[in-house]
């Protein structure tokens, strides 16, 4: 009994960490756009579409510790990861800027923030999505089907 | 501790950090801009900028605007009335931020009209007919040629003057200053170098009144 409890506890903690990452990323992205007034580009919006719902979906899973939350959260996290990955390719110039899908006004490759020469906004997004995806996969394997 | 409580407390902490962070950021920005206004006033007021009001004024409203922007149009008369209510104490500095498609063309027209001493009249005509020529999907600044005679300007002269490279240089300088000041939307107001705490005419009026009290 206590073994199962312990197991449940650590699973819950993994989910909790996922939720914290999603929440911090959401608030951070809102801080950039609403407080610092950086206009979000098209790709940022697509990533936000995947990110914002994660906060609520994971929260619901946390409260009742419903194991099926992994099933619902993973597709969003994976989709977000692909967009973030593509965005980073554009940003670093691996894909030429001429085929970027952004309209005039807000460029997807404009440098707003650059900490230590590597931590740009798209990089932060990629790190967040990667961590969430990895943690959710670990959780998926640990949970009895 | 119950798990639910952990979640609730974490959520409250995150929101609190967000609110404190935004307060801190706004405070810092206001301080930095105040410093820039003192040390480097020319970012806010350039020699070339058109101005209204008294040269002895101690309260400067610097407005970054775009003739095609609806909100700038909405602010035009309220700001004019605010100036009229405090004669001799205020100065309104017009800076360009032509962010809309085709706006730089309109700014060039406006600057050319300024050479004929018809700046205010021309701007008022542009705002009056803005819904006709400044649709965002299909801006047609060419339509302005038909209505500009209402401002009493010489159209042929404007067509000639608006291609003056000096005007293009002026717009470029204004856009560079807008970038330095992080102006990304229009209108953006600075009162004696201070940004509005949040956007709105009431906030602008309050800031102006605070500055009037501090300086007179």
Q: Read off the pLDDT of residues A77-92 as tens digits, 9 standing for 90 and up.
A: 999 999 999 989 888 8
CATH class in words for B42-215: alpha beta
The percent of residues in chain A predicted with pLDDT above 90, rounded, is 50
Cβ distance B6 to A39 less than 8 Å, yes or no, reads: no
Chain B CB within 8 Å of residue A89 CB: no
Mean pLDDT of B57-70: 89
Q: Which two tokens stand for residue B194?
A: 């201070």
The pLDDT of residue B18 is 94
What is the ipTM for the molecules in this complex? 0.77
Q: Which of B7, B17, B18 sits opposite A63 (nearest CB)?
A: B7
Share of chain B above pLDDT 90, in %: 31
Q: Does B165 score more than 60 pLDDT?
A: yes
| Gap from B22 CA to chain A (nearest CA, Å) | 6
Q: How many other C-beta atoms lie within 10 A of the C-beta of residue B55? A: 7
- CB B143 within 8 Å of CB B129: yes
Q: CB contact, 8 Å: A35 with chain B?
A: yes
B22 in reach of chain A (CB within 8 A): yes
Q: pLDDT digit string (tens) for B52-63?
A: 888 888 888 999
Contact A16 B185 (CB under 8 A): no
Going from N- to C-terminal start, the domains of chain A cover 2-142
Q: Which class would CATH give A2-142? A: mainly alpha
**For residue B41, pLDDT beyond 80:** no
Tens digit of each residue's pLDDT (9 = 90 or more) over A66-75:
888 999 999 9
CB of B67 within 8 A of CB of B104?
no
Contact assignment for B21 to A105 by CB distance below 8 Å: no
* B22 to A32, B26, B194: CA distances (angstroms): 10, 6, 17
Tell me if B75 sits within 8 A of B201, measured CB to CB: yes
- Report CB contact under 8 Å: B18, A27: yes
Show residues of chain B in contact with A20, CB under 8 Å. 10
Instruction: Confirm whether pTM is higher than 0.80.
Output: no
The answer to whether B100 faces chain A, any CB pair under 8 Å, is no
């Amino acid at each position: 009994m206590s073994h199962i409890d312990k197991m449940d506890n650590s699973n819950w903690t993994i989910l909790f960490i996922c939720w914290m990452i999603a929440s911090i990323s959401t608030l951070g992205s809102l801080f950039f756009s609403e407080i610092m007034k950086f206009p979000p580009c098209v790709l940022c919006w697509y990533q936000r579409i995947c990110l914002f719902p994660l906060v609520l979906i994971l929260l619901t899973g946390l409260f009742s510790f419903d194991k099926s939350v992994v099933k619902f959260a993973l597709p969003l996290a994976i989709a977000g990861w692909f967009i973030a990955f593509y965005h980073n390719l554009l940003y670093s110039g691996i894909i030429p800027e001429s085929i970027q899908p952004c309209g005039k006004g807000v460029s997807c490759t404009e440098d707003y923030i650059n900490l230590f020469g590597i931590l740009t906004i798209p990089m932060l997004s990629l790190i967040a999505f990667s961590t969430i995806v990895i943690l959710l996969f670990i959780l998926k394997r640990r949970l009895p089907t | 501790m119950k798990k639910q409580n952990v979640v609730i407390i974490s959520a409250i902490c995150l929101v609190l950090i967000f609110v404190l962070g935004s307060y801190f950021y706004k405070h810092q920005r206001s301080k930095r801009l105040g410093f820039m206004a003192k040390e480097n006033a020319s970012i806010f007021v350039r020699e070339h900028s058109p101005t209204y009001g008294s040269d002895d004024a101690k309260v400067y409203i610097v407005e970054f605007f775009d003739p095609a922007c609806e909100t700038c149009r909405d602010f035009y008369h309220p700001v004019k009335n605010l100036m009229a209510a405090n004669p001799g104490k205020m100065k309104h500095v017009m800076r360009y931020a032509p962010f809309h498609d085709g706006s730089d063309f309109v700014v060039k027209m406006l600057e050319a009209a300024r050479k004929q001493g018809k700046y205010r009249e021309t701007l008022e005509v542009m705002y009056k007919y803005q819904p006709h020529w400044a649709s965002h999907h299909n801006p047609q600044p060419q339509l302005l040629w038909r209505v500009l005679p209402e401002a009493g300007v010489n159209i042929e002269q404007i067509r000639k003057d608006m291609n003056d490279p000096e005007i293009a240089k002026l717009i470029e300088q204004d856009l560079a200053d807008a970038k330095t000041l992080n102006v990304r939307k229009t209108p953006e107001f600075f009162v004696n170098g201070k940004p509005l705490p949040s956007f709105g005419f009431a906030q602008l009026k309050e800031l102006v009144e605070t500055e009037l009290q501090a300086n007179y």
